[in-house]
Amino acid sequence: MTVSASIAKRSAIFRRARHPRRTLLAAAISAALFAPLGSATIAHADTGDAAIEQALNSARQGSFDTSSAVSNHVLGAYIQYHQLRNQLPDIPATSISRFINANSDSPLSEWLRNFAQRAYGKAGNDAALLAISNGVPSATENQCYYYRALLTRDPQRAAAGGRELWEVGHSQPNACDPLFDTLRSRGEITASNDWARLMHAWQSGNSSLVNYVRKLIDAPNWQSAMATFDRVYANPAAVTTVPARLGPDSHAAGRLMTVAFHSLSRSDPRAALSAWRQLSSSQALNNEQRLAIQHDIAFNSMLKEVSDNRSWVDQTLPQLNDNALYELRIRTALAERDWRGVYRMVPKMPAEVRRSPRWQYWLGRAAEQLGERATANNAYRAAAEERDFWGFAAADRIHASYAMNDKSHPVSPARINQVAALPAVQRVAALYRIGEPGLAYSEWVYTLQRADHAKREAMAAYAIKQHWYALAVQGSITARALDSLAWRFPPAYLSQFQRWGNAHGTDPYMLMGIARRESAFNPSAQSPAGARGLMQLMPGTAQHISRVEGIPYSGVNSLKDPDTNIRFGASYITSMLERYNGNRIAAAAAYNAGPGRVDRWLANSNQPFDLFVESIPFRETRNYVLAVLDYRAVFESIAKGSSNGVSMLSPAERNGTYGPNLLAR
């Protein structure tokens, strides 16, 4: 197979396997508690670890070891958790409460509370459900059980909670039906609540829910409102015929108009603006509804590039004061090379937004294009003060070194030792020893969320000391120590990145940037789409690379191994670099969005790197490219001990044209 054919084939597999994909770090441990242990485990600290590992495996299968060796182990509560869960709902709430109180420093407490709420709710044991609850549950199904349990104890709270659950634009769990039925029979859910839900359903585009709720509103005093709804739902342009007073309380018109404009502006922004000019003074609308309507018209006018609406949009943006709308307007101006528009619009943004490196960079670019050299240099200098893709790009414009703004600082051994002695941290260490990184991560995050700033810093420092790189990153984020580069950008798996980067002739710092963005160096991370490991590889991609490159592949679980994952990831990104003539911006975009999409973007492009990046239509991919290239430069600077001589982009990447010329022939 030729190189080009190999690349084309593996790119097709990668494209099919990865999309749609969202790498969410929280999803990395989604099934950890009940997943069987992998075959590879870290060496046991003592025989107690071997016993607890076996006991945990057995507990997941419903067999429980209650020996003292297991019960007295630092992870003994995990066995008790499974035992109590297995006995629900036939055990008293006092047993559940005792466990929750005894393990309040562990996520086990909230996991058991959540499971017990569901179990007691399904069994109709309202007293037990309320006894173990510490407020409104987080899960929707459990909320329905909770409010149902309050129907006789606190009917006002039950009614308020039930109405909130009812007035949504999506279907709710079947467990909510008894609550809704009771409230409706009591007159606590009325046609007014049904109208509110009907509007939510329409705005959400949930036609089946619209049809369901529509049938519920049949009271005589709602007939006129429903006839108006039917007419406008069928033709949103008929919004101009909605009377100012609608419904029994005369207040239904405002919400109907708001949702009708939401629908109309998406399909025909010109018609929406024309209708708005007729209705903008309507007494049916409150200020919140007016702003919502104007927002929808402005957003869709820009999204659909309706030039006829441009003047109105520019006049309206200041009163809406919405960052996303300003961003879209400036990106539109950039796409049109309207440098005067960019120069005029950036200063109108809220101060905290326009001061960001991104917008200072574009202010500088616009000023430069307009011959305002002094303004351009001032804007570039302001942007270059920050550690950021656009800050680095601005620094390149004025030939300055990159600002790393590293505020890493040592944590005293005494504080680190205090953290190491925490029972929660000891559980983290034990879970790593028995091959349970997902549970270790859960324990760590749960502890971070409840710690003060000083303890979070000490936890990050301890994680670095233990080579728990994903936990160090999470610690730095939770502690908001965003300039502590030693924690945010640790030398995770450095030797493996260097080994496989060099083997493929690929920049190892680029590989590290991808892994940092994809998984925050969590080797057990798994996305909802099934991407796995440090570099978030799809199993299908790994299988194909194995066949093409002859790299041994022993199944999905092998992608949790850092060395294996990096090797496959290095092979794939190398093929993307080959595809795009070594261009790392295009390769990073393809790693996230798929090469087919990037091919199309390039085929319709002919612009410098900065305008190409801003023209990427997917926000996720745009931000992904910015992060990977930014992180790459940070890792190189850390490795060299200075940003002097570090360049985020090569001369070809910085000065070349982004278009069909980048596609390898």
Of 101-110, 145-154, 402-411, 544-553, the poorest mean pLDDT is in 544-553
Among residues of the chain, what percentage have pLDDT more than 90?
Answer: 88
pLDDT attached to residue 27: 34
User: pLDDT tier at 47 (50, 70, 90 boundaries)?
Assistant: low
Whether the pLDDT of residue 228 is over 90: the answer is yes
Whether the pLDDT of residue 468 is over 90: the answer is yes
User: pLDDT tier at 25 (50, 70, 90 boundaries)?
Assistant: very low
End-to-end Cα, the chain, rounded Å: 16
Quickly tell me which residue has 């024309």 as its tokens.
274
Of 83-92, 177-186, 523-532, 588-597, the poorest mean pLDDT is in 523-532
Whether the pLDDT of residue 17 is over 90: the answer is no
Kindly state the average pLDDT of the residues 233-239. 97
Q: With contact defined as beta carbons under 8 Å apart, do 53 and 43 qualify?
A: no
Kindly state the average pLDDT of the residues 624-631. 98
- Specify the amino acid at residue 345: M
Tell me if the bond preceding 236 is cis, omega within 30° of 0: no
CATH of 3-17+494-662, one of 1.10.530.10, 3.40.50.300, 3.30.930.10, 3.40.50.1100: 1.10.530.10
For 395-408, the pLDDT digits (tens) are: 999 999 999 999 99
Q: How far, in Å, CA of 521 to CA of 513, rounded? A: 10
Kindly state the average pLDDT of the residues 412-428. 97
User: pLDDT tier at 665 (50, 70, 90 boundaries)?
Assistant: low
Name the nearest CA neighbour of 246 among 214, 219, 284, 217.
Answer: 284
pLDDT attached to residue 2: 34
Whether the pLDDT of residue 39 is over 50: the answer is no
pLDDT attached to residue 31: 36
For 346-367, the pLDDT digits (tens) are: 999 988 899 999 999 999 999 9
Kindly state the average pLDDT of the residues 181-199. 97
Q: How far, in Å, CA of 393 to CA of 659, rounded? A: 20
Among residues of the chain, what percentage have pLDDT more than 70?
Answer: 93
pLDDT attached to residue 20: 33
- Where are the chain's structural domains? 3-17+494-662
Q: How far, in Å, CA of 250 to CA of 246, rounded? A: 4
Burial (CB count <10 Å: 0-12, 13-18, 19+), residue 51: middle
Q: Which of 518, 578, 636, 653 is catalytic?
A: 518
Average pLDDT, the chain: 91
Q: What's the longest Cα–Cα distance across the chain?
A: 80
518 catalytic, yes or no? yes
Name the pTM for this structure.
0.87
Q: How far, in Å, CA of 179 to CA of 416, rounded? A: 50
DSSP for residue 134? S
**CA 580 to each of CA 570, 586, 596, 611: distance values in angstroms, whole numbers, following the listed order:** 15, 6, 12, 18
